[in-house]
Amino acid sequence: MKKYIIIASSILICLACSHKVLANNKLIPFFTVDQGPLFSINPNPVTGSYFTVNIRFTDSQFPDAAILVNDVLGKIVYSYTIRKSDYSTGQIRIDLDDAKLDKGLYFVQIKSGSSTKTLKLAVR
């Protein structure tokens, strides 16, 4: 059973789905969350000598995007600026030797301006 709270006579907020507001019989966003650049990592966990970052955004959506790999302490251990040619293929191959990544847990982050998205990466 969903619970609602009336803020004013024409605004109704659903407590179970507080990201939407019903105002004058229309759903409108209550707040927005920056999802950041969409990407995935394959394979994860990494058992071979490389992994691939699959980007699902364009250079017009996130210009000057960069891939940052952080260790568990937050130190940047590898960085790569995404090139125009990377957008056309949608894939960036990162060799573990080039990135100097040993076995362990890392955080792969794509950053563009104030937008950021981070995924966990395990290297075995």
Question: What pLDDT, on the 0 to 100 scale, is given for residue 63?
Answer: 87
What is d(CA 123, CA 31) in angstroms, rounded to the nearest whole number?
A: 36
So where are the chain's domains?
1-33, 39-123
Question: What pLDDT, on the 0 to 100 scale, is given for residue 24?
Answer: 56
What's the whole-model pTM score? 0.72
What secondary structure, in 3-state letters, does 15-64 show? HHHCCEEEECCEEEECCCCCCCCCEEEECCCECCCEEEEEECCCCCCCCC
Q: Which residues of the chain have pLDDT under 50?
A: 1-14, 18-19, 21-22, 32
Q: Pick 39-123's CATH classification: 2.60.40.10, 1.10.150.20, 2.30.30.60, 1.10.10.10.
A: 2.60.40.10
Question: What pLDDT, on the 0 to 100 scale, is given for residue 36?
Answer: 79
Element (H, E) at 22: strand 20-23
- How many alpha carbons fall within 13 Å on the CB side of residue 36? 16
